[in-house]
Structures are given as C-alpha cells and as structure tokens.
Amino acid sequence: MTVRRRLQHETAGAGECFPANPYCGTRTRLPAEDYVIKEKYLRRYRRLAEFLSEAGQPHIAGLDALMNVGPDSDEIWIEKGLSEAEKRFVAIHELVHARRQLSGEDFEDYQVEEPIVELEAIARTPTAVLGQLSNGLALTLLHDFLTDFGQFNPNTAEGLAAIQRRISVLLGGRPTTACAPASKSHE
C-alpha cells in the first residue's frame, strides 16, 4: 500500500508533467537514506487501511507495508510477522514506490503503477533473497530476465532503462514511466 507523498513538482497535474518533468528518471538508486523502516504489527492498522481506502488510496488484501507514514511522512512500516526475506523484499518494493515518486515516474493509477513497481522490486532483489520467498523459482527466473542475468545494474541510468524496457515487454509494451526521461532513451 502506498500513501502518496505530495511533492513540490506534483503541483502540476499528471498529464501536465509529460513531457517536461526535470525530475523524470533522475533518481536511479533507492532512497533508503530518506526513510526510516519500522516493523509493526500492521493488522492493528486495518482501520487506517480502510480509511485510506475510502479516501481514495488503494486497498490491498493482506496489509504488508505502509509508506510515507509517521509524523514526518518519512517512515515505512513493514509487517513484523513476515520472514526476514519477505521483509527485505517488501522494503525494496516500498522504496521502489518512493524512488518513482521522487523521480516523477509514478502513475496516479494504482492498477497501472503496482505491477511496474513489483517487477522493478524483483529486478532489484538478490536472487538469494527471492529464492526464499514463495514462488521463489519463478521470481528468480523473472529477476534473471529483467536484469539479463545480472548484467543490467538498476542503480545506473542505462541499467534501469534496460530493466524498464524488459518490464514493458512483460506488460505488453506499456510505458513504464508517467513522464518522459530527461536523457534520450537508449536502444
């Protein structure tokens, strides 16, 4: 689940950010230093999840994480009952949401945004961690496809662009960013 943080460059509507968003594609690393990750028993926050759902935020079954929460909206809460591998994967997933928001790449539509975030998270998670998750073999195969067996480094502009092209392939050719990258795309 994502609570969308209001960013300065979001004052324009999503449509207006295309194509001249100077933030687009500028962040490739996960903004781990900008967030405090806390483990909580999130089932206690089911009422909050329901409220957010009513307020237009997406509701997902099985609340594993919340982001942009806490007094300064800089906390990510992760379900304490998960395994260590699951916590690591969920943290990466939430940080991909944050990266895309900070970079102006995220789509307003949760149904569009969520699979892109999940696939980038799979690309960024070490196979040793993916292998410990349920469906670990399938996730590892996806990781190998998305990163071309680890050749694409998501922390570089070229590597992330290559991973996003493969995400697009998996999603039937859909665009993977809501804005146009500042640099020209590589073929």
Report how far apart, in Å, the C-alpha atoms of 10 and of each of 15, 28, 57, 104 are.
11, 19, 17, 8
| Nearer residue to Zn ion within complex by CB, 93 or 143 | 93
| Nearer residue to Zn ion within complex by CB, 76 or 160 | 76
Size of the site for Zn ion (CB under 5 A): 1
- Per-position x/- string for 86-125, each x denoting binding to Zn ion as judged by CB under 5 A, each - no binding: -------------------------------x--------
Instruction: Decide if 174 contacts 119 (C-beta within 8 A).
Output: no
| Nearer residue to Zn ion within complex by CB, 90 or 160 | 90
State yes or no: cis peptide before 19, omega within 30 of 0. Answer: yes
| Nearer residue to Zn ion within complex by CB, 60 or 141 | 60
Instruction: Decide if 146 contacts 166 (C-beta within 8 A).
Output: yes
Instruction: Decide if 156 contacts 28 (C-beta within 8 A).
Output: yes
Least Å distance between CB 19 and Zn ion? Answer: 25
Least Å distance between CB 149 and Zn ion? Answer: 26
Put the strands of the sheet holding 75-79 in their side by side order: 36-40, 75-79, 65-69
Q: At which residue do the structure tokens 């194509």 appear?
A: 19
| Nearer residue to Zn ion within complex by CB, 76 or 117 | 117
Instruction: Find the binding residues for Zn ion in span 14-53 (CB under 5 A).
Output: none
Least Å distance between CB 44 and Zn ion? Answer: 20
Least Å distance between CB 113 and Zn ion? Answer: 8
| Nearer residue to Zn ion within complex by CB, 24 or 91 | 91
Least Å distance between CB 59 and Zn ion? Answer: 12
Cα atoms found within 13 Å of the Cα of residue 2, Cβ hemisphere only: 22
Least Å distance between CB 166 and Zn ion? Answer: 19
**Tokens of residue 109, six digits:** 């539509």
CA distance linking residue 171 with residue 137, whole number of Å = 20
Residues that bind Zn ion (CB under 5 A): 117
